[in-house]
Amino acid sequence: MGTENRTSVLPVSSASGPGFLGPSYNPADEMLPPASIGVHRGGDLGDVMGAVKGVIYYGDMMGFGAPSSEMTQGMPGLKPLGVNYFVNSGLTCSNGATMWEYVSTIPQGTALGNKLRDAIHNIGLPEMRGMAPGIVEDAKFALNPSPIINAVVGSGYPQCELVTKPVGDYNGKIYNVDGELLVDTLGLIDNGGGRYSQQRWVQKYQPVQRRPGESDATMQDRAQAIQLPYELWDKEPKIYKENGCLKPVCTPAADGKPPPDDGSCLKERPAGAPQPNFCGGAEGFQTYTVAPKSTAVVSLSIGVIAILAMIRIWSR
């Protein structure tokens, strides 16, 4: 309206990475089938003990995501289910970089509160990081009004900070059981031991004092996102490209003409401005070789198959 000539009111760009619906990760498919944990059809004592251990195993997967007794100690695949990843928000930070959101779907063990978590730990049981508490944590996050309030009262012009976070599942795997990538391959950092992390520009929050036993996610829920009025956002120097890397320093052209003054380069490198460690190469990112897709048999809802198998065994 009037003198407004922007094609888009908010600084947005196309989303990339896993997308807003998240990666292709099905917790049920990540669970091991009964045969893989020693459950077999039969009537001798070993088969009965295997069936009992199977019941306890799937109970631990649902409740704790870890062994709750010696019966399941050392059994394979017993871990919290979920995946950590970054998703492109489509917004542009005040420094010019694209803003990302860090999403963690691995249960933190705080579904019933920090006090109950400590009480369970004090009696010798592991934290409640199974599928059922994870559902409660997801429900609490979905019912949290803070993101909606921040979206309504926020300006849509964020100030950002550079963070490094682990990506992949609980064990650091970046592929699902069918061999499909769970994360964006751009800028992956190999931490060794089959674990990866990524560095991204994310929303900056006002610092708050951590409460005893409080997780990072809970502490961030109490923090206030730093949103700028458009005038202040527009005045901040856009020293980063959309991919998050510092713009190059301007150099004269080969024919002696002065460097462009269109904001594509910097007259000088600002002191203290961090260059993300993923920057490098022709495209501004480290290269990462994508492994070939797994040729293993596709798993379809192994959790359901496991439950049906247990029902069949106990019905004999």
My answer on whether 37 and 54 are in the same domain is yes
My answer on whether 54 and 85 are in the same domain is no
Task: Tell whether 311 is covered by a domain.
Answer: no
Task: Tell whether 3 is covered by a domain.
Answer: no
My answer on whether 287 and 171 are in the same domain is yes
My answer on whether 106 and 215 are in the same domain is yes
Decide which of 12, 45, 79 is a domain's last residue: 79
My answer on whether 173 and 291 are in the same domain is yes
**Stronger pLDDT, 313 or 186, i.e. the higher one:** 186
Query: What integer pLDDT is reported at residue 135 of this predicted model?
Result: 83
Query: Does residue 284 register a pLDDT over 50?
Result: no
Query: Does residue 44 register a pLDDT over 70?
Result: yes
Query: What integer pLDDT is reported at residue 297 of this predicted model?
Result: 38
Task: Tell whether 20 is covered by a domain.
Answer: no
My answer on whether 217 and 88 are in the same domain is yes
User: How many domains are there within the chain?
Assistant: 2
Task: Tell whether 151 is covered by a domain.
Answer: yes
Query: What integer pLDDT is reported at residue 141 of this predicted model?
Result: 67
My answer on whether 46 and 105 are in the same domain is no
| Dihedral of alpha carbons 169, 171, 176, 177, sign | negative
Q: pTM for the full model?
A: 0.75
My answer on whether 108 and 61 are in the same domain is no
My answer on whether 51 and 144 are in the same domain is no
Task: Tell whether 2 is covered by a domain.
Answer: no
Least confident of 29-38, 53-62, 152-161, 196-205: 152-161
Q: Which structural domain, as residue segments, surrounds residue 228?
A: 81-302
Taking residues 89-112, report their average pLDDT: 88
**Stronger pLDDT, 215 or 78, i.e. the higher one:** 78
Query: What integer pLDDT is reported at residue 290 of this predicted model?
Result: 46
Query: Does residue 179 register a pLDDT over 80?
Result: yes
Taking residues 16-20, report their average pLDDT: 58
- Which long-range CB contacts under 8 A does 189-198 form with residues at least 24 apart? 189/164, 189/277, 189/278, 189/286, 191/166, 195/166, 195/168, 195/171, 196/166, 196/167, 196/168, 196/172, 197/164, 197/165, 197/166, 197/167, 198/86, 198/164, 198/165, 198/167, 198/278
Task: Tell whether 9 is covered by a domain.
Answer: no
My answer on whether 249 and 274 are in the same domain is yes
pLDDT class for 126, splitting at 50, 70, 90? confident
Query: What integer pLDDT is reported at residue 154 of this predicted model?
Result: 59
My answer on whether 184 and 292 are in the same domain is yes
Taking residues 57-78, report their average pLDDT: 90
**How far apart (Å, rounded) are the C-alpha atoms in residues 264 and 248?**
8
Task: Tell whether 188 is covered by a domain.
Answer: yes
Question: What rounded mean pLDDT belongs to the chain?
Answer: 78
My answer on whether 266 and 122 are in the same domain is yes
Query: What integer pLDDT is reported at residue 169 of this predicted model?
Result: 94
Query: Does residue 285 register a pLDDT over 50?
Result: no
Percent of the chain whose predicted confidence (pLDDT) is above 90: 30
